[in-house]
Structure 1
Amino acid sequence: MDFLLSDIHSDLASTVDAILTKADMPTIIRAHAAGDPAAVTPVREQLAEAGICGLIIDDEHGGSGAGVTELVVTAEQLGRHGMPGPIIESLAVAPKLLADTGQHLRLGPIAEGTPVSCAIETWQPNAADAQAADQVYLLASGTLSVARIASTAASVDPARTVSTVAVDTVLVENVDSPAGAVSAADLGALATAAYLLGLGQTMLTLAAEYAQSRKQFGRAIGSFQAVKHHLADVAIALEMARPLVHAAALGADGMVPANTNVLADISAAKVAAADAAYLASRQALQVLGAIGYTAEHDLSLYLTKTRALVGAWGTPAQHRQRILNSL
């Protein structure tokens, strides 16, 4: 099986990267953390114009009609820049959840860039960045509802909040996913895995650049073998996790043999990507030292976001248990 990206995927990644690079995302992340979620609105509008916000929404309802492979390519670029807000929920979870439950008329605003958040029992019972969303959906006890925010708490990531939500308006009762089918929560886990890959890549880049410029004993610290080995371990972890993410995306798109356990593949991708990104955060901080954790340095934006997302859309323990159950 070929996991190499096609020219179409490379062009998609370049488009998203160009939009986010031009936007100066570190400044937007800091504004979001300071209580200004509208700071990211112009970027979201540009992504919507490029068809990114409605990537997996079908053409009939205003989307691009793309697949999960395109979704993970996009999510990795969003992670490279650390785009704040309920981006995974808007890009992956809500479109899948609403389409699966027949709520297609609610997809149009999402494709146009309206941010939404979701909470799904077991996998993500609290809604991320619900205060920055125009709509919050809750799937609990087999019932899909529009939810209201009950309470909100800060997370380790200053640019991310988590909210407990309660039922406001019931939309669909007796929601039941077929056994073995990829659910909205699974798609959230896979998109989060891709986002974490992007975060890990950015932290590796920041650490490598610092290692080349910082000097000790008259030499760049990147010339020391211990530093090289730390960064090489990160590069290997990221490169080993990326094919797992791409393979799981192919599975979710139905492009694998029928006997493939796609859900276990998604869990493997989430675990590997989370471990790789967390390793990147630890090693980058070791290379940069205390300056890397200061609010003034961009590395801190990605360190805290990584820690917050390791347990998003399924904890490592939950996903490891699913892999174990599949063996």
Structure 2
Amino acid sequence: MRFALDSSHTDFADSIDALLSKSDMPAVVRAWNAGDTAPGLKVWQRLAETGVNGLIIDEAHDGLGADAIDLVVAAEQLGRHAVPGPVAETVAVAPVLLAGAAPDRLSALAEGSLATVAAPPLVPFAVDADVADLTLLVDGTTVTTATAGERRGSVDRSRGLFSVTAAETLGDADASRAFDLGALATSAQLLGLGRRMLEISTEYATQRKQFGKAIGSQQSIKHHLAGVAVGLEMARPLLLGAAMAVRDDSPTARRDVSAAKVACGDAAYRASRIALQVHGAIGYTMEHDLSLWLTKTRALLTAWGTPAEHRARVMEAL
């Protein structure tokens, strides 16, 4: 089994990275936190123009017809730049549900519409239903449109959680596959978040000085950051292996996705803890950009299945 990405994947990742690097994402996220979603929606429209929204939508419905490996490549970059909005729901979950229940709605999704999904009991709330163009509710295999109800807060201020009520029945879809792709995309986001926190911490450690020396020159800091780097790199093969299993409809796909979700979540959480330790008190402040990655990491740890639920799925498979 070959885990290395080829040049088409790395070029695609680089193009998304370049687009988002020019977009001043910390400012975009802070605006979204304050209720101004216009800058974030502009970013989403530019992402749609590169094909991100329609990655796994077939070409007949204006998508790219790509596979799960392309999905995790894109989702990792979206996580690395802390893109606000219903990321996993728009690029991974809704395309699977609509392909089965309402394929006539796929073109709008590929062209830049945002979608969000609730799938109780594992996914009880729809993320950013006030911003999404389409809200879906899954009950067993039945997919319906839904209307947003009460909003609940999240540790990530850019992430609104809404209770929803069923509206129009669309049809049946492969809800199990949709859940796995949601968990897979969330895993990739977590890996990207962890990578960015490592980069921020490393940069800070080379600039912050105590007693005339950069704190990064201390062995304890080096060892902590090295441990984070190892954890992230050890999680990557599990993520890519799970993407291959989903792409190939492997009988182990369900287990592999759960293993990836646990590994990427653990690695990102460790990155967040070490980032706080390296930054000290300033890392706790909302004014520092690190806070945007910390809070999103904490929120995504339990999105599309908690660590306990995914560990249970791995244990069941074993």
TM-score tier, shorter chain, comes to: over 0.9
Q: CA deviation at 1:79?
A: 0.6
1:158 lines up with 2:157 in the alignment: yes
1:46 lines up with 2:46 in the alignment: yes
Q: Secondary structure at the match of 1:158?
A: coil
Equivalent residue in structure 1 for 2:263, among 245, 265, 272? 272
Partner of 2:29: 29
Partner of 1:217: 211
Bigger Cα displacement from structure 2, 26-35 vs 217-226: 217-226
> What pairs with 1:91-110 in structure 2 (closer than 5 Å)?
91-99=91-99, 101-110=100-109
- How many residue pairs match? The answer is 318
1: distance between equivalents of 2:212 and 2:86?
A: 46
With normalisation by structure 1, the TM-score equals: 0.95
2: distance between equivalents of 1:251 and 1:261?
A: 7
2: distance between equivalents of 1:131 and 1:154?
A: 13
CA RMSD in angstroms comes to 1.2
Partner of 2:9: 9
Partner of 1:284: 275
Q: Secondary structure at the match of 2:22?
A: helix
Check the 8 A contact 1:123/1:185 in 2, yes or no: no
1:169-215 per-position Cα deviation (integer Å, ceiling 9, x unaligned): 12225x566xxxx6101100000000000000000000000100111
Partner of 2:126: 127
1: distance between equivalents of 2:219 and 2:109?
A: 49
Equivalent residue in structure 1 for 2:180, among 181, 186, 191? 186
With normalisation by structure 2, the TM-score equals: 0.97
1:263 lines up with 2:254 in the alignment: yes
Check the 8 A contact 1:37/1:85 in 2, yes or no: no
Q: CA deviation at 1:141?
A: 3.9
1:118-167 per-position Cα deviation (integer Å, ceiling 9, x unaligned): 01123212111111101100001442110011211110001111111111
Q: Which runs of 5+ in 1 are unaligned?
A: none
Bigger Cα displacement from structure 2, 35-44 vs 157-166: 35-44
Check the 8 A contact 2:101/2:143 in 1, yes or no: no
> 4+ residue runs of structure 1 moved beyond 6 angstroms?
none
Paired residue type of 1:318: E
Q: Secondary structure at the match of 2:130?
A: helix
1:71-119 per-position Cα deviation (integer Å, ceiling 9, x unaligned): 00000001110000011110001001111x2411011111001111001
Check the 8 A contact 2:97/2:174 in 1, yes or no: no
1:5-25 per-position Cα deviation (integer Å, ceiling 9, x unaligned): 100000000110011111111
Check the 8 A contact 2:126/2:164 in 1, yes or no: yes
Q: Secondary structure at the match of 1:132?
A: coil
Q: Secondary structure at the match of 1:169?
A: strand
2: distance between equivalents of 1:86 and 1:239?
A: 26
Check the 8 A contact 2:96/2:174 in 1, yes or no: no
Q: CA deviation at 1:64?
A: 0.6
1:39-92 per-position Cα deviation (integer Å, ceiling 9, x unaligned): 212211111111111000000001011001000000000111000001111000
Q: Secondary structure at the match of 1:138?
A: strand
Bigger Cα displacement from structure 2, 227-236 vs 44-53: 44-53
Paired residue type of 2:36: D
Partner of 2:236: 242
2: distance between equivalents of 1:153 and 1:183?
A: 27
Q: Secondary structure at the match of 1:64?
A: coil
Paired residue type of 1:6: D
Paired residue type of 1:166: T
Partner of 2:63: 63
Q: Which runs of 5+ in 2 are unaligned?
A: none
Check the 8 A contact 1:126/1:165 in 2, yes or no: yes
